Structure 1
Amino acid sequence: MATLVFLAAAMMLLSGCTEVNKEINADSEGYWNEYVVYPFSQVIVKTAELVGSYGWAIVIVTIIIRFIILPLMIKSTKNMKEMRKLQPEMQKIKEKYKSKDAVTQQKMQQETMALFQKHGVNPLAGCLPLLIQMPIIFGFYQAIMRTEAIKEDTFLWFDLGSPDPYFLLPLIAGATTFLQQKITMADMTSQNPQMAMMLWLMPIMIIIFAVNLPAALSLYWVVGNIFMIIQTVIINRKYDNEASLENQ
């Protein structure tokens, strides 16, 4: 839940960031601009020169970035599934140590950590991919928003520098966000009402942002979501098959 809230807050912060309105170029100052945003901008520009379209360049670079961070996502997904399997045992530990005094709570934490170590699960492993992804995703986000050449190009039925006039991309972005989260969270929503609320909240936020921001960003969200949907389905099937073999 914390990661989703952090992502939502970060998106809102970035959407209102004044830096987004400043064109990125070789003269842009600051470590963030020089070593993150500008290199991403150049990758998009060079890719567009090769394929002849900034729209296709965004699609291609988005997929490349997703492949780069794929190992982290695989590790995070597997760790999350292992955590879910341990939920019954974790609940038993909580019931065993119901007292709120410091000594009892310390014993509960020690027994919980012993359970994690026994099964090779790291409760913080889900945070690491998020922390590594954020600079990459936000840097690419700003590169799209701050590269003037992108704003002047068109792709399919929309101008990359303007909101989609037919609102199709925002709706697709919202729908794919919902589907991606539903597949990722799976049975977590039935166990946690807050997760169920976030399942609807994030897509709505994405649609609101996408309606008002350049279509280039909506395109990035749609491609990234579709990649993550396919990625999660494949990882889940592989994990379930491995679990079935282990239980035989």
Structure 2
Amino acid sequence: MLRKFGLVTVLVGLMVIMTGCFNVNEPIQSSSTGIWDSYFVYPLSWLMTTIAEALNNSYGLAIIIVTILLRILILPLMIKQTRSTKAMQAIQPEMTKLREKYSAKDQQTQQKLQQEMMQLFQKHNVNPLAGCFPILIQMPILIAFYHAIIRTPQINPSIDASYTGAPQQFLWFELGVADPYFILPLVAGATTFIQQKMMMVTDNPQMKALMYIMPVMIIAFAAFFPAALALYWVIGNLFMIVQTYFITGPNVGKNNDEEPDTGGAKNK
């Protein structure tokens, strides 16, 4: 599980780095060149703009709709990830017993622990990394949507000095600037915590730490980034909370004595 935690941390760091490795300070247009802008970012920007124009220029509603559409698009991956987490949760009691049995820190004992762990995974047809692959696959889609939000002048006028349109309002905030009342950042952090709490395996101290670190990071980012991005985080988190509830129930992260349900995490 430490390796899995490390992989998740690397992916989060990679996502943060990638958001700054492209033309984030240039508006996205139909004339934008390059595979990333032409085939990932611009189509999402065009979709948001088209939906907004159909809804009386409500870019806030457009962001909500596109967020939901993207979440539906990657839903099969998220279901696989959720079920993999549930399968890992189901065998936690056996994993705990193995750690207690091989608690010594010498190399030979730890090698024996790893062997026993692998046998346990094979016995229940569980792939401990199965929940990480969907994250890797969906990252480009979500990063592209992040770019589409901050590089569409109608949403973030500061990205294009030649844009003369009025700032887009939604509810109590402007989409192109940070929420002045910090309501969205707090909601984004709270929904991130709830979503991770529902998915957390209670016997995993590394994931427990991540459960508290990630909401703080989200609040910090959302407090300074355009409110449109915080809105995207909130809607995405709410979608995942509902998804997790209906796929696995509200207690996915709680240990129980039932037989492991590993049907969704088999190696294929």
Query: Which TM-score band applies after superposition, normalised by the shorter structure?
Result: 0.7 to 0.9
Per the TM alignment, residue 163 of structure 1 is displaced from its structure 2 partner at its CA by 0.8
Say if 2:158 is the partner of 1:153.
Answer: no
Closer/same/farther in 2, CA of residues 38 and 177 from structure 1, 3 Å limit: same
Do structure 1's residue 122 and structure 2's residue 134 form an aligned pair?
no
Equivalent of 2:245, from 221, 233, 237?
233
Distance in 1 between the 2:184 and 2:98 partners?
47
Residues 68-127 of structure 1: CA distance to partner in whole angstroms, max 9, x if unpaired?
Answer: 11111111111222122223334555536966249x83x655554343233221222111
Alignment-derived partner of residue 203 in structure 1: 215
Give the TM-score normalised by the residue count of structure 2.
Answer: 0.79
Provide the rounded CA distance (Å) in 1 between the counterparts of 2:35 and 2:131.
Answer: 27
Separation in 1, partners of 2:95, 2:205:
19
Give the SS at the match of 1:19: coil
Query: Counterpart in 1 of 2:206?
Result: 194
1:126 aligned partner, one-letter code: G
Aligned partners of 1:246 and 1:92: how far apart in 2?
A: 15
Count of residue pairs brought into register by the alignment: 240
The CA RMSD measured in Å over matched residues stands at: 2.8
Any gaps of 5 or more consecutive residues in structure 1? Answer: none
Please state how far the C-alpha of 1:135 moved relative to its aligned partner. 0.5
2:88 to 61, 83, 95: 83
Relative contact order (C-alpha < 8 Å, sep 6+): which is higher?
Answer: 2
Residue number in structure 2 paired with 1:144:
149
Q: Return the alpha-carbon distance in structure 2 between the equivalents of residues 25 and 246 of structure 1.
A: 50
- The 3-state SS of whatever aligns with 2:249 is helix
Identity score, percent: 52
Alpha-carbon offset, residue 27 of structure 1? 2.1
2:107 aligned with 1:100, yes or no? yes
Match of 2:73 in 1: 68
Q: CA deviation at 1:2?
A: 2.7
Distance 1:246 1:121 in 2: 10
Q: Give the Cα–Cα distance (whole angstroms) in 2 for the partners of residues 205 and 93 of structure 1.
A: 34
Contact 1:173 1:221 in 2 (8 A): yes
Which structure: greater helix fraction? 1
| Partner amino acid, structure 2, of 1:208 | A
Q: Which amino acid aligns with 2:234?
A: V
**5+ unaligned residues in a row in structure 2: which ranges?**
157-166, 262-268
Secondary structure at the aligned position of 1:20 is classed as coil
